[in-house]
Structure 1
């Protein structure tokens, strides 16, 4: 799609008496496009590019900062951004079929943040990809980059950190909904000669990226949530929340997937 300055320059050359072929060679625009512009110079509404809040003149955060904080957590966990058709980008977030409520929440967040206000669902074996098409995903998620997230630095921009600080529970919920879970652990104790089974809830968050785990634990610290590393096979990829008071807070603001 050509911008207005290119269109006006091509039409000016034609108005000066230049042929369509000459104007095409000088501007790099096809003759058919210039011929079409002679009757309509403005782009069709469906082709017009509207800036997002980040690349617009005001450079503001997304209007729905709570939805953005949640979507940021989902993206850092199970999301990816890749080049799409027509120089645009595709945001994909994988959601297991087991959790229909999560699928709905994810789609709602994508629609709240996508400048087009649209999302699509692509069914795969065992999961649904919530998909959003936009030229502006790199503006909204500057963590996008080549390769796997754990192989490159993941650092929030100051404006993103401000949103997370304003909506920490939404961010935690997005991370847990993507790469976390709430399970019931159990143990046995012998009391007065009798073996008894005790069950207790526990939250896990698992991510290979040191930076993403750090974002999770830093936010937990600000919320007063006690957590521990749960190292398995020498890998500290699991963050556990098991203290009763902390689990109660997580239950109140996050809860199990649904």
Structure 2
């Protein structure tokens, strides 16, 4: 391996600071372009000008501005289909939201919300059978999602902190949209009724939200109450699992702000 002295390095840095390109400096001084690039990176780092040198700021720790609507939506997704995990050998935990392949629009919205909440972090999609995990890595995930903890969500208490409640109160439809996009759906139910002695089929839209956590269902229904949406709790095998919204006026409200998954 050929070593280059301090004099060559200083000449290279002088040319680079004057606006020369890495490749041109390398050819002029007989130095590999990769070495020139490393010298440039090292020099900028020593002068505290290196991109990526500073860790991304956190809204909770550093007071960085937070997109409230995007956060409320992402919080709803997290409470439904998300989890935070730190893989063995990884220094940084990741937030993963699992999105079915049949809902590409939902996947796009999830990624857009992640980028808005974590503007300085990379977002990616990991392919799984029948779905994608939309992921972001950040050391500040526990700061923004204090509901994270050991065990399944329905086996531990889930409650919003005061600052989260303020965001949800300011952006309730974004929160409800995230919950419905994760653990809910809009479908068409039907029944029959006698009209003039003839039994006719009658169809009507309904929104369902299904989650085994009593706390998460309560967060959903409390928000619906504040929005003026009427709901009904339904049971499955004697247990409360489903929240139904079927009244025409309430479905119209949900349609105006949520609509079917896509």
TM norm structure 2: 0.79
Q: Give the counterpart of 1:82 among 76, 81, 85.
A: 85
Change (3 A) 1:41 1:145: farther
Partner of 1:138: 142
From 45, 59, 68, the equivalent of 2:71 is 68
Q: How does 1:43-58 map to 2 (within 5 A)?
A: 45-56=51-62, 58=63
Picking from 151, 173, 176, the partner of 2:155 is 151
Deviation at 1:50? 3.5
1:234 is aligned to 2:238: yes
State the distance in 1 between where 2:56 and 2:250 align. 44
Q: Residues of 2 paired with 1:91 and 1:43: CA distance? A: 29
Provide the residue aligned with 1:201 in structure 2: 205
Q: Is the 8 A contact 2:56 2:120 kept in 1?
A: no
**Residues 1:50 and 1:122: Cα distance change in structure 2 (over 3 Å):** closer
Aligned to 1:255: 259
Quote how far apart the aligned CAs of 1:53 are. Answer: 1.3
Q: Secondary structure of the equivalent of 2:206?
A: strand
Gaps of 5+ in 2: 1-41
Alignment partner, residue 179 of structure 2: 175
Structure 2 counterpart of 1:245, from 238, 242, 249: 249
CA RMSD, 1 decimal: 1.9
Query: Deviations for 1:22-66, whole angstroms, at most 9, x for unmatched residues?
Result: xxxxxxxxxxxxxx9xx959696535323311111x4x6x52110
What displacement does 1:238 show?
0.3
Q: Max radius of gyration: which structure?
A: 2
* Structure 1 residue aligned with 2:98: 94
| 4+ residue runs over 4 A deviation | 39-45
Say if 2:69 and 2:174, in contact at 8 Å, map to a contact too. yes
CA distance in 2 between counterparts of 1:119 and 1:51 reads 16
Query: Is residue 161 of structure 1 aligned with residue 165 of structure 2?
Result: yes
Residues matched between the structures, number: 218
* 8 Å contact kept, 1:229–1:236: yes
Deviations 1:141-189 (A, max 9, x none): 1111111000111111100000000000000000000000000000011
Give the distance between the partners of 1:86 and 1:115, measured in 2 at CA: 21
1:79, 1:92 within 8 Å by CA — same for their partners in 2? yes
Answer whether contact 1:181 1:204 (CA < 8 A) is retained. Answer: yes
Answer yes or no: is the 8 Å Cα contact 2:121–2:138 preserved in 1. Answer: no
> Which ranges in structure 1 are unaligned for 5 or more consecutive residues?
1-35
Question: 1:190 deviation in Å?
Answer: 1.7
Query: What CA distance in whole angstroms lies between the structure 1 residues aligned with 2:179 and 2:56?
Result: 30
Which secondary structure state, in structure 2, belongs to the residue aligned with residue 188 of structure 1? strand
The equivalent of 1:120 in structure 2 is: 124
